Amino acid sequence: MSEIATGELSLGLRCGLFGGTFDPVHSGHLLLAERAREELELDTVLFVPANVSPHKFDGREISSGEVRVEMLLRAIRGNPDFLLSRIELDRRGLSYTRDTLETLAVEHSETRFTLLMGSDNARDFRAWRDPARILELTSIAVWERPGEYFWPEIYPDHIARKIPAPLIEISSTEIRNRAAAGRSIRYMTPDVVVEFIMEKRLYR
């Protein structure tokens, strides 16, 4: 079972940091994480569910941190290379990547972190809180999608690595909408997560 107390994690020397709301986690998230682990030769991928994402706040009430943690733990259980941290949930308030990296750098000074992001986040990176400090604390890797804006055009002095990403047309929004309508979400997220969503009647 994956650890969830950040200070107790054994992250290895190379760790990919994968943040998001994960409401719910879906099969695309897991496939992208595995592709990053393989392409970047990472020891671990650390999933960090946001308390409140400053990049995706649309007024929608998101599921509680405990619910999202449980879904993530169910999804990654059995993969020793996938871990989860509650660092942003426990800190509460808006979840800023800079603050998370500052803490991780102290608690895991031997670990080299790589911040994993999609092309949409790379496009908007200048609007993040203190991007210059983020670049001091971590390297960047971007999942590349055909025809989408890519990192070097924004920060040419800080070259991000490209992660070839399969085109996956699955989103948490679609899963929520289908669950609300009583439609099947099978195969869009692991069966253990589907069962949890149905059992708790989430998104209804």
Name the residue ranges covered by the structural domains of the chain.
6-170
Give DSSP secondary structure letters for 171-187: -HHHHHHHHHTT---BT
- Establish how many alpha carbons lie within 13 A of residue 181's alpha carbon, considering only the half-sphere containing its beta carbon: 9
Give the per-residue pLDDT at 55: 63
Residues 102-106 have a mean pLDDT of 94
pLDDT band at 153 (very low <50, low <70, confident <90, very high): low
Residues 98-113 have a mean pLDDT of 94
pLDDT band at 1 (very low <50, low <70, confident <90, very high): very low
| Lookup result for tokens 């650390």 | 46
Specify the range with the lowest mean pLDDT, choosing from 5-9, 11-15, 96-100, 157-161: 5-9
| Lookup result for tokens 């426990």 | 90
Residues 111-122 have a mean pLDDT of 92
Give the per-residue pLDDT at 166: 79
- The CATH classification number of 6-170 equals 3.40.50.620
Could you tell me if 143 and 118 are in contact, meaning their C-beta atoms sit under 8 angstroms apart?
Answer: yes
d(CA 83, CA 194): 20
pLDDT at 68 over 60: yes
Specify the range with the lowest mean pLDDT, choosing from 22-26, 59-63, 113-117, 184-188: 59-63
Give the per-residue pLDDT at 157: 77
Nearest-10 crossing angle of helices 191-200, 65-76: 150
Residues 131-160 have a mean pLDDT of 81
Strands 44-49 and 112-118, how do they pair? unpaired
How high does pLDDT run on average in the chain? 89
Q: Give the global pTM.
A: 0.91
Give the per-residue pLDDT at 76: 96
pLDDT band at 115 (very low <50, low <70, confident <90, very high): very high
d(CA 140, CA 132): 12
Give the per-residue pLDDT at 169: 84
d(CA 78, CA 73): 9
Could you tell me if 203 and 179 are in contact, meaning their C-beta atoms sit under 8 angstroms apart?
Answer: yes
